């Protein structure tokens, strides 16, 4: 039972960080907005909503979607788009365009992360060994 909760905490933290960084990347404005407290508040709100939704989903049979890297990326992207649309109104003319873009970036981050960091970052270690000779 404790191991299951540890996995849920890990799931929440991963789903908090990926959408937060995706939201920071996709939110329009200058690079000066990265230091804005309002910008961080919105991005963290998106991450928290996405993390909570992922944890709630882990109590259902749909939790097995997190086991495959591609369905995981799809679920993360959809949850992030929903979390972003819930957290704030879009800044562009199209109503949910920013939320959709944030979801796509978050899903791609999840997919790239699963490819690079699986098996204790085997691919990164192999690349590093090839670079070092």
Return the minimum-mean-pLDDT range out of 23-27, 72-76, 107-111, 112-116.
23-27
Q: What is the model's pLDDT at position 118?
A: 79
Q: How many domains does the chain have?
A: 1
Say what the pTM is.
Answer: 0.81
> What's the rounded Cα separation, in Å, for the pair 110 and 112?
6
Residue 92 is predicted with a pLDDT of 64
DSSP one-letter code for 90? -
With contact defined as beta carbons under 8 Å apart, do 19 and 50 qualify? yes
Q: Is the pLDDT of residue 113 over 80?
A: yes
Which tens digits make up the pLDDT trace of 45-78?
A: 989 999 999 999 999 999 899 889 999 999 999 9
**Domain residue limits at 128:** 2-132
């Amino acid at each position: 039972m404790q191991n299951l909760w540890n996995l849920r905490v890990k799931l929440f933290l991963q789903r908090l960080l990926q959408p937060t960084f995706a939201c920071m990347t996709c939110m329009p404005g200058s690079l000066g907005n990265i230091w804005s407290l309002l910008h961080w508040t919105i991005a963290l709100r998106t991450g928290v909503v996405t993390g909570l939704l992922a944890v709630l989903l882990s109590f259902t049979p749909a939790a097995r979607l997190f086991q495959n890297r591609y369905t995981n990326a799809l679920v993360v992207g959809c949850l992030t788009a929903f979390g972003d649309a819930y957290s704030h109104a879009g800044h562009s003319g199209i109503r949910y365009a920013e939320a959709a873009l944030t979801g796509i970036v978050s899903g791609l981050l999840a997919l790239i992360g699963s490819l690079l960091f699986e098996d204790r970052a085997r691919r990164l270690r192999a690349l590093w060994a090839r670079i070092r000779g």
